[in-house]
Chains A and B, each alone.
Chain A
């Protein structure tokens, strides 16, 4: 079995977002970059499949030189090889899906895993787009995955519950928290990863069809007020205010 894990480098969740001078992109100063938290579940799942039934795991990221950190980490955790597709990995989801599809088609991947969303563009779109471009099955926001002979069963989160999706391999599966508990890299893994080479390829040309023309911070919230008194009085005052001022009820 051959597994591709697509990993995205994203701003650390602690990042305070600042808009760059162009008014449409993230000011990269002071931004610490990490592997997308949902991508970590995708990679962990691939490694577990490899350990359970044997598989070749290829880690891939679309991005610039800094994205090599994500790949180096993936190698340390257990990926067999790593590919950097040099291109804009932060832009339009369809363009990124096209770059990955161009790379992956004809390579015989049985399974493609990625996070259900990055935590930057928050598109939650690359996985299903990739599935369509490759003409394969998909299951999104997956919390449980079982593989059969050329088939999969995936439990995915839906409103107020979950549903079981069955399909044929190859497939694109996008990971949700709960799929597994990602491991930490061992010292041995980190040392071994340093010796491995990351294959670097130019990403296929894929023009963006959805572009960010402006980026803005959310409007300031109006100043609030404190409700004083004993708990019973506070409760009463709150409900009155929600009813009369906020007209919530």
Chain B
């Protein structure tokens, strides 16, 4: 069996989890295996949706002890489920939770682990993964020698695919509640916006923005395009009040949106490392020699303070981002 650890939000499967399930289905078909979806929480309402993405079996562990995320409890639960089902492949989305639980579960099982993968295949019955290393400056093919193979899938890379599965429900016991660590509270939830790593459109600003307040024009453009705002390290470190969570690059987030618009960003190797996986790159820079243009699908040589508002206006006029 290929088992996918899934996350729910507001009673729905999170998109990165649905992507992992879709890829799990493809791998299961390619290798003649069954696909299992695993959920854990105080309530797993909404887990039945996994059948839509091809789950043959839907495993749910429900209980008060699982109301808050605990690294050790969840890792144990996941590893136990892999064992109980005789699964040989464990997938999770490379989200904050997925990247926390999957390596711990892998260590518990003595299993090889590939994180943040962008490509998966079954070769001779075993998982093979392709993943960016050196922050996307190279791609490594990872093969496994362990009986169980574990990988987290990078959001926004694997296509969603609906394919009805049997979705047979099966309940797992929730662990008793004495954990080594537990999440006590969620802080500073930023207005429901998607995270950079999951965003489809990103508008990023660099030192050329000159001031944090000027990021308002990027917010406006992002809103018009249905995207979110990122930044270069120079902008984050400039003392403009931008949080590090906005930083894209080798020592920030590695993103893979469909569209990345770089405004006033020169294209330093460390920045490129974080965004070169974007499908389309737009560069807006007043310096025609800026290295970012070498990467750009579309380049605009000009003053961003003139171009960006025009883009916002045009996007609003064209009704982009509304559907």
Contacts and interface: CB of A to CB of B under 8 A. Distances in A.
B318 A243 contact: yes
Q: How many of chain A's residues touch chain B, expressed as a range?
A: 35 or more
User: Which of B103, B197, B303 has the largest number of chain A CB atoms within 10 A?
Assistant: B103
B111 to A, nearest CB: 7
Given A94-B110, A209-B145, A238-B298, A128 B139 contact: no
Given A11-B134, A125-B106, A210-B144, A238 B300 contact: yes
A167 B180 contact: yes
A129 B104 contact: yes
Nearest to A232: B310
Interface string A211-226: 1111111100110111
Nearest to B136: A218
Contacts of B114: 123, 210
Given A16-B269, A38-B251, A226-B301, A122 B135 contact: yes
Contact of A160 (B185, B190, B300): B190
Given A171-B181, A226-B299, A120 B133 contact: yes
A72 to B, nearest CB: 23
Interface in B218-262: 225, 243-245, 247, 250-252, 254, 258-259
B245 to A, nearest CB: 6
A120 B132 CA distance: 10
A123 B107 contact: no
Contacts of B133: 120-122, 212, 215
A249 B320 contact: yes
Nearest to B140: A212
Nearest to B310: A235
A92 B140 CA distance: 12
A235 B313 contact: yes
Nearest to A158: B96
Contact of B142 (A167, A210, A248): A210
A231 B309 CA distance: 9
Contacts of A209: 110-112, 144-146
B124 interface: no
B181 A128 contact: no
A151 to B, nearest CB: 10
12 contacts: A93-B113, A121-B140, A123-B114, A124-B115, A125-B115, A129-B103, A177-B252, A213-B141, A215-B133, A218-B277, A242-B280, A242-B298
**When A and B form their complex, which 10 residue pairs have the shortest distance between CB atoms, in order from nearest?**
A167-B181, A210-B112, A137-B180, A209-B112, A159-B195, A125-B103, A235-B310, A129-B107, A158-B96, A137-B181
Interface of B: 69, 71-72, 75, 95-97, 99-100, 103-108, 110-116, 128, 131-146, 149, 179-190, 192-195, 197-198, 201, 225, 243-245, 247, 250-252, 254, 258-259, 269-270, 273, 276-277, 279-282, 293, 295-303, 306-307, 310-311, 313-315, 318, 320-321
Given A132-B75, A210-B144, 7 more contacts: A163-B186, A164-B183, A168-B180, A177-B251, A216-B138, A246-B279, A248-B259
